[in-house]
Amino acid sequence: MDVNAAVAAAAAIAGVLTGVIAMLAFRWSEREQKRPTRTSLHTDPVLPPGVDTVLSVLRSSAVVLDEADAVVKASSAAYALGLVRGGKLSVDPMLRMARDTRRDGEIRQVELDLPRRGTGRGEALAVSARVAPLGSRLVLLLVEDLTEARRIEAVRRDFVANVSHELKTPVGALSLLSEAVMDASDDPEAVERFAGRMQIEATRLTNLVQELIDLSRVQNDDPLEDAEPVRVDELVAEAVDRCRHQAGTKQITMAAGGTADLHVYGNRGQLAAALGNLVENAVNYSPARTRVGIAARRVNAPGGDMIEVAVTDQGIGISEKDKERIFERFYRVDPARSRATGGTGLGLAIVKHVAASHGGEVTVWSSEGQGSTFTLRLPEAGAARDRAHQHPDLDGLDDEPDDSIPQPSSYDPLPSPEVLP
């Protein structure tokens, strides 16, 4: 019995020791699992409180990197710009900036030109990148897209340069002609000849200034503030009267048709200027003893009926490469011919802005040596008024080229025009 009791006591003691050891091992294991490791610092980084919310409302593209340069957080804009691919920052200059900032804690900023993802045209994406430390372990990268700002600045710079050049030409001519008049004060015939040239240059200068004013007005004004139903036949008659003398000098026949009982809704002055520019261009670029036609019609469209006013000439036509740029400011298909006709290169830019601000568009079909057809497409009076109430903040277009160039086969025959006296 004593032996059995001793064995039982030894077994009990061994069981108690085993239980104690197992409990200690379990506690130690739990403690080790809760302790942060070097691996966990890289795989489960935590953003400081509130940072995630702030990043979600920023307009800039945001990327947060950890100690291993892995992306902890990235905005959808960063993915759209192609900054993040496969969980890594894909732009090497930005990655080097992030590493330098992580090392010394200094904020860095740089402007870069990046290739556009998915385009084979080599167009650069201009961005401004700013890197700053975020806490003790993370780095924040903010990227601002400057492409549109750069484009607008280039357009503004070219516009100022073109205006300066265009103003300099007639002003310089007036200065030289005035000196010639003074030197020829004893020669009445020379004075009369120089005075006539001065009148031509003064008229060119006046037209340029007026078109600059018109372009500024159509860009800044809301045409729907003074909008009213406007008869298309009255707009056509005004445009024809504007060019009647010039057409008569070149023996150009002007014809109009299909304009009765059609109305558009908008600013009468802007619409008259736009259509007048189209008719004036048709007369200026047409050879003598040819024909300029103006026709209008109503066409069905998903958003409501549209009014199309087409101006057709038998002039020199426009090449394919020039079609993409003719609506840019100061762009001329034939600069020498434009000088001869007194053109400023702003007429079609004004037409484009007027059409866009009225909820329409202007398109062109042309063939070299056969002539051109410019079509001004505007909402009909009732549809335009309803659209204005639904979308009161209609905006104009920029100076990007218009890719929608209709072909003759896409049009039904226009009404036959009648010859105007």
Question: Within 10 A of 144 (CB to CB), how many other CB atoms are there?
Answer: 17
Range of weakest confidence among 24-33, 86-95, 275-284, 359-368: 24-33
> What pLDDT, on a 0 to 100 scale, did the predictor assign at position 122?
52
pLDDT at 404 over 70: no
> What pLDDT, on a 0 to 100 scale, did the predictor assign at position 85?
85
pLDDT band at 395 (very low <50, low <70, confident <90, very high): very low
- Secondary structure (3-state) at 82: coil
The more confident residue out of 153 and 97 is 97
pLDDT at 279 over 90: yes
Bridge partners of 380, per DSSP, are 264
Could you tell me the two tokens for 390?
């639904």
pLDDT band at 167 (very low <50, low <70, confident <90, very high): confident
Could you tell me the two tokens for 12?
């009990």
CA distance 286 to 283: 5
> What pLDDT, on a 0 to 100 scale, did the predictor assign at position 407?
36
At 64-98, the pLDDT tens digits run 988 888 888 888 888 888 888 888 888 888 999 98
Question: Within 10 A of 342 (CB to CB), how many other CB atoms are there?
Answer: 16
Rounded to whole angstroms, the maximal C-alpha distance in the chain is 157
How many residues are there in the chain? 421
User: Phi and psi (nearest 5°) for 53?
Assistant: -65, -45
Do residues 376 and 355 lie in contact, with contact meaning Cβ atoms separated by under 8 Å?
yes
CA distance 328 to 353: 11
- Secondary structure (3-state) at 382: helix
Element (H, E) at 143: strand 138-145
The sheet carrying 371-379 orders its strands as 361-367, 371-379, 306-312, 291-299, 253-257, 418-419
Domains, the chain, in order of start with CATH, read 43-145 (3.30.450.20), 147-220 (1.10.287.130), 224-419 (3.30.565.10)
pTM of the model: 0.53
Q: Which parts of 42-81 are beta strand (E)?
A: 61-65, 71-74
At 341-360, the pLDDT tens digits run 555 677 888 899 889 888 89
CA distance 141 to 202: 57
At 218-259, the pLDDT tens digits run 666 666 677 889 999 999 999 999 888 888 989 999 988 887
The more confident residue out of 52 and 325 is 325
Do residues 287 and 315 lie in contact, with contact meaning Cβ atoms separated by under 8 Å?
yes
At 286-329, the pLDDT tens digits run 899 999 999 999 998 887 889 999 999 988 888 888 887 888 77
CA distance 212 to 397: 17
At 252-269, the pLDDT tens digits run 999 888 878 899 988 888
Do residues 65 and 98 lie in contact, with contact meaning Cβ atoms separated by under 8 Å?
yes
